[in-house]
Structure 1
Amino acid sequence: MKKELHIFFTCLMFYTRIPCPKNIDHNPDYLNKATRYFPFIGWIVGSISFLAFYIFAQFLSVEIAVILAIIASILTTGAFHEDGFADVCDGFGGGWTKEKILLIMKDSAIGAYGAIGLVLLFLLKFKLLSESISLFQMENPIGLLQVFLLFLSAHALSRLAAISITFTHEYSRDDATSKSKPIAKKHTWKEILGSSIFGLLPLLALSYFQYNFLLAIIPVFITRYFLARYFQKWIDGYTGDCLGATQQVCEVVYYLSFLFIWKFI
């Protein structure tokens, strides 16, 4: 149990800005095992985001509350995944060889592709999440619970889609100095099972109210498949930025799928 707690806090420290015990560090072995808890981090980030939304929705409009909820999630993770998304936009938008793409992605400066990508990403996330929330009757406890599960399932499932790439593909960079290198090692069934349970459980809970919500898994993992295939084609694998981009794109695809299922299926 003590070791599992250490692994969990290693995951929490790596993927969020939430304070952890002082004895926790980026131990490569623990960091590799921490992938089993990555979707559970989605539970934490999703809960914080929902709490911010709920509090501000008591005094402000739903749209403003959604914006503040998105800000809360960004502050919780330190824009970890958004930064990866921007780097991928810059790298794959401006590079035409593996070496050039990797070099651009490692540059801390943001370019035009990254800036444009983030603007469009946030606009989509805001609009889709606002419309999704408006479908529920939040004055009803059941409706409020469904909104909570929507936040949790979006963050958890998108993280499962992202981390699953490490189970099927190789890390692209040759240098071991990258902070994402430790999670690129081989994984055991514990990492695969743990991440799958934490990634799918919130969606299973949401589908209790309407079973066809489970169909959202399909477009999310189709998106994951084509992103991983694209990364493999251009850089022979993935990087930490690729995982962050996958998480962000899959989160948006999940909201879009949820709306489509609600309105047409």
Structure 2
Amino acid sequence: MGSTSVIVGIHGLANKPPVDEKTRWWRAAIAEGLIRNEGLSDPHFAFEFVYWADLRYDAPLREESNREPYRRHGGAGPLPGEDEAPALTEKVVLAPLYAGIDRLEETTGVTLVDDAILEYRFDDLWYYHAERDFARDVRARLAARLRACRHRRILLVAHSMGSVIAYDVLRLLEREDPALRVEHLVTVGSPLGLAKVKLKIEAEHGAARVPANVARWTNLADGHDVVAIMGTLDEAFAPSDAGLRVVDRRVVNTYSRPDGGRNHHKSYGYLRTPELSRIARAYATSSGGA
């Protein structure tokens, strides 16, 4: 199974450690989940990582400046899953409030709230939408990697802003390379539900819908992740022409910084959730586990 399938990852917002380190940490987080949640003793899987931080930042994040390295979660056994997800505390207030603003912004086309969110909280995403050359170069990296893997079963895992890049690339490939297929798209901590993002999608690609070149789309969101403020995407994206819908799953992102602080948006926490491990299991083999 290993040579015929591949997991392709693309990172999200902000500067990152050097590409080799970031690639190694993503692989380690996925493997940690497969071991703890799926019982694989020594998981093997082909992994390709799309790194684009160097197109935005002059130098990688140095070790002494990195407050959020990959760290294994303490203890043993399966990690908390959807059934153990906490109540949606701040989003009980924020999500309905933003939903009303979101509908108003989509109706009027005036996105002052989203502009402020994107510029001051998600600066890279704001830049992606404002600078065409940057967007073209970032998209080209993912498109080239997908084309290189076109004869394999592709699981595409896109975190944060990477989910916006992945969506745009898939919609472009529908037209430019219609034979290319992604077996499973998994978006994690995605801002695709923001009105500003949906308006950009509609302006470039037409109606916001599930891309025709994916066989499945699963969206994972932690209830306390402010980047994925809308949480679910099924209502925001119409089904594909084949009737495929987004499947939303609420998860528990267990990532903690070395200083003990939590980050419910961190990629490593998402990559080891039982919900992602269950999907990744179909793309991995084990030398001696279940």
TM-based fold match above 0.5? no
Please report the TM-score for the alignment, with normalisation by the length of structure 2: 0.24
